[in-house]
Structure 1
Amino acid sequence: MVNTAAFKERLEQILSHYEMTASAFADAIGVQRSSISHLLSGRNKPSLDFVLKVVREFPEVNLYWLLNGKGIFPESEIPPSEDEYNALPEMRKGGPAPTTSEIESIVVFYKDGRFRKYLPSQSKEGGFL
């Protein structure tokens, strides 16, 4: 269940970050202006449709952060951890990428929480399905 007061605060953070009025934000995501007003006043809880429109229109808004406050906003400003930074020093310095003998799978993650896993095909070309 979404905490309405906390959601309101996160929505206000988004408006402030993008320097948008509630009306401009409503127009940007394609909802009625009264929808934003009702959310900001605490009168209504956000619908799933509303949340998906926000994360679709503003990629820096993390779905989990918007819903429950876990994570960081804006998402694009997340600095790499020290472990991530030190993991591939050759790549960071423009050196050769690590080599592997075989790719097991490729996973694509979508902003809405979905993902798709691609496995190597059995063809001689070694492409992905």
Structure 2
Amino acid sequence: MNTNEVVGRIRKLQMLKGLSNNEFAELLGISPAALSHIYNGRNAPSMTILEAIFRKFPNVNFNHLIKGEGNLLEPLNEMKDNNTLFSNQLTDNYNTVNRMDESGKHPNSDSKEAVSIPANKNLESSQRELTNENISNLFTIVKVALFTSDGKVIFYTPTQDFNL
């Protein structure tokens, strides 16, 4: 990843959106001075700033911003299709994990080194067992990144009806 090229693509996004440095910095939740430092090469864009870009501009193509592949902006309807596909894959993976038997072995695993899940049922009263219901009360999934073997990164932003 060439930092100068990434910074150039961030500038291009700002220009396409017609935002001043102050407006763009405010949208990203950083100071105008921090944005200036990035643009002048003093600092590299942090992961926090990249996440803010994807949160504020959901149609930004991550692969273009980071690697220069594809278009900077994607149509929202294409992203919706990708999100649906990713949601289905995520659901399938979640269901597979839930099918693990009590010994902790994956049902399709022939390996003798299967992952084991502790079966300690004697939890102190101050501890509680994590279930689907109380996990979803601990946090909200904002965005999921899928890193593929061919070097691509796909972001999925779940809808309001997405549940663990």
Tell me which interval the TM-score lies in, with the shorter structure as reference length. 0.5 to 0.7
Shift of residue 78, structure 1, vs aligned partner: 9.4
CA pair 32-68 structure 1, distance change in 2 beyond 3 A: same
RMSD: 2.9
CA pair 107-51 structure 1, distance change in 2 beyond 3 A: closer
Match of 2:129 in 1: none
Give the Cα separation in 2 of the matches to 1:55 and 1:14. 11
What TM-score results when the alignment is normalised by the length of structure 1?
0.59
After TM superposition, where is structure 1 displaced by more than 4 Å over at least 4 residues in a row?
Answer: none
Shift of residue 117, structure 1, vs aligned partner: 2.9
Match of 1:59 in 2: 58
Deviations 1:81-129 (A, max 9, x none): xxxxxxxxxxxxxxxxxxxxxxxxx6428xxxxx62345xxxxxxxxx9
Counterpart selection for 1:117 from 91, 112, 130: 91
1:108 aligns with 2:96: no
Q: Which runs of 5 or more structure 1 residues have no equivalent in the other structure?
A: 80-105, 110-114, 120-128
User: What is the count of residue pairs matched by the alignment?
Assistant: 91
Q: Which runs of 5 or more structure 2 residues have no equivalent in the other structure?
A: 79-84, 96-163
Contact conserved, 1:72 with 1:78, CA < 8 A, in 2?
no
What TM-score results when the alignment is normalised by the length of structure 2?
0.47
Q: Give the partner amino acid of 1:12.
A: R
Percent identity over the alignment is 26
Q: Give the partner amino acid of 1:116.
A: L
Match of 1:93 in 2: none
SS at match of 2:87: strand
